[in-house]
A and B are shown apart, each in its own frame.
Chain A
Amino acid sequence: MECDRASALLHPLIDGELGFLGRQRLLRHVARCGGCAGRLSELQALQTALRTKLQYHRAPPALAARIGAAIARESPSLAPARRRLFGRGSGVPAGFGLAGGLVGAAAGVALTLLVTGAPIRPESDMVSAVLDSHVRSLLPNHLTDVVTSDRHTVKPWLSSRVDVSPPVRDLAEEGFPLVGGRVDYVDGHQVGVVVYRHDRHIINLLAWSSPGKADEGLKTQSRQGFNLITWRKGGVTFWAVSDLEIGELRKFALAIAAAG
């Protein structure tokens, strides 16, 4: 391979866009070519610097309300009629989602989808419940009950509150630092959640006991712009959910599954 060609391919390489064979060929060239190896390490350094140092501008809290109001003006509504849905055993205690405007909107509409959507299979119902937990966690001040990157704090905190705690690992080296933990309600049960991060993407890892059920390998799906991976091991069901790209989320799930 010539250096011109190799240089152009370094970008798709660091962007995870090369297929297996293309990657092997390029890496063989890089191993033998000091120039390309230098370019690669510089590109990777730039990518790391951008991913860790570019400012992420979060939407100001008032903006969601402002947009919600603008949309409401466009669409005459019967909003209060839906409130009763909170009583339908959907896993969210009555009133849970009504604390703030956005919280109410997000949790409320999630439940509406469960009720008004096409016939619900138990599987997709669970996907919705897990996704609800993830979406709620992204709302201001809902992410963690205990904020720490120290697993020796998160683990006992969760163990004292739920039967099964998701694995609390130190995966910072692999690019998934620990953010904290919380207890959430999913499908009517208290569930332990451990929160990890990859760059700016939040990953929620949920686990609960499923006694007597057989082990299952990683299953992947996408819903509403989020990726979800579930697996079962030793009578415990795991869910990882994030807006992280699926390849990276798979790496995370594999690291957790291997360790757990």
Chain B
Amino acid sequence: MNEPQGRPAVQDDRRRRFELLALPHLDAAYNLARWLAGNSADAEDVLQDAYLRAFRYFDAFRGGSDIRVWLLSIVRNTFLSWVKENRSNRLVFIPDDRGADATEPAETMWGETPRDPEALMLQSADAGMLNRLVEDLPTEYREVLLLREVEEMSYRDISAVVGVPIGTVMSRLARSRAMLRHRWHTQSAKEASHGV
């Protein structure tokens, strides 16, 4: 045990502790970055940047809290500032409760007439179409949907990642499902009429 007790050893421990905690969540972090950025090259840049940031601010991470929530919030914030700095040709955040197609049922959420047999159709929905529809959701709706349905996070954790109150998480989630449902019906009808 004749290691120097100075900075390098401390740095080394810090780095290993960081890697132990952060690397197991690389897939979750990448998946979020990939869905936000829309392509893998940008997602990889965002993720590397996010992990470096996380490492720099690692001392601010409180041991008792959830590392996945902390990391994903950094990935998200890194993506946002990356969009601001680099390119904005991908449309990003729009003000809450606006920006959706005007023909879509807005505040009724799921309040429209239910179409029961179509619940069955949704189950056999074409995966490619569903993925495209989610890709086309505005970012702020897409992210809560992903955190909920893919990462299966609680409202509380989603609110921590996104940095909005739980009530906003709920309304965005309801809204994104309403948009998806509406667009899915529209798209299905369109394809049916083209005989696809």
Contacts and interface: CB of A to CB of B under 8 A. Distances in A.
A217 B122 CA distance: 40
A140 B115 CA distance: 43
Interface stretch (B92-100, B125-133, B186-194): B125-133
A48 B127 CA distance: 12
Given A42-B119, A42-B181, A70-B48, A224 B174 contact: no
Contacts of A214: none
B110 A77 contact: no
A258 interface: no
The secondary-structure label for the interface of chain B is helix
Given A49-B122, A77-B8, A78-B12, A64 B173 contact: no
Contact of A78 (B8, B120, B174): B8
Interface string B6-32: 011101111111111101111111110
Contacts of A49: 122-123, 125, 130
Contact of A106 (B11, B13, B19, B154): B19
Contacts of A224: 20-21, 24, 67
Nearest to A3: B111
Interface string A213-230: 000000000101110000
Size range of the chain A interface in the assembly: 35 or more
Size range of the chain B interface in the assembly: 35 or more
Nearest to A132: B20
Given A71-B55, A77-B12, A245-B153, A38 B116 contact: yes
Contacts of A83: none
B74 interface: no
Interface in A33-54: 35-39, 41-51, 53-54
B149 A50 contact: yes
B130 A225 contact: no
B195 interface: no
B120 A56 contact: no
A148 B26 CA distance: 26
B82 interface: no
Contact of A74 (B40, B52, B145, B170): B52
A200 B125 CA distance: 19
A172 interface: no
Interface of A: 3-4, 7-8, 10-12, 15-17, 35-39, 41-51, 53-60, 63-64, 66-68, 70-72, 74-79, 81-82, 102, 105-106, 108-110, 112-113, 116, 135, 138, 199-201, 222, 224-226, 243-245, 248
27 contacts: A7-B110, A10-B110, A11-B173, A41-B114, A41-B119, A42-B119, A43-B177, A45-B122, A46-B180, A49-B122, A50-B150, A55-B127, A68-B19, A71-B15, A72-B15, A74-B55, A75-B14, A105-B19, A109-B23, A110-B20, A201-B152, A222-B66, A224-B24, A225-B25, A243-B25, A243-B28, A245-B152
Given A8-B174, A53-B127, A67-B51, 15 more contacts: A7-B108, A7-B110, A12-B155, A15-B148, A46-B122, A49-B123, A50-B130, A54-B130, A56-B150, A59-B27, A63-B26, A71-B18, A74-B55, A74-B56, A225-B66
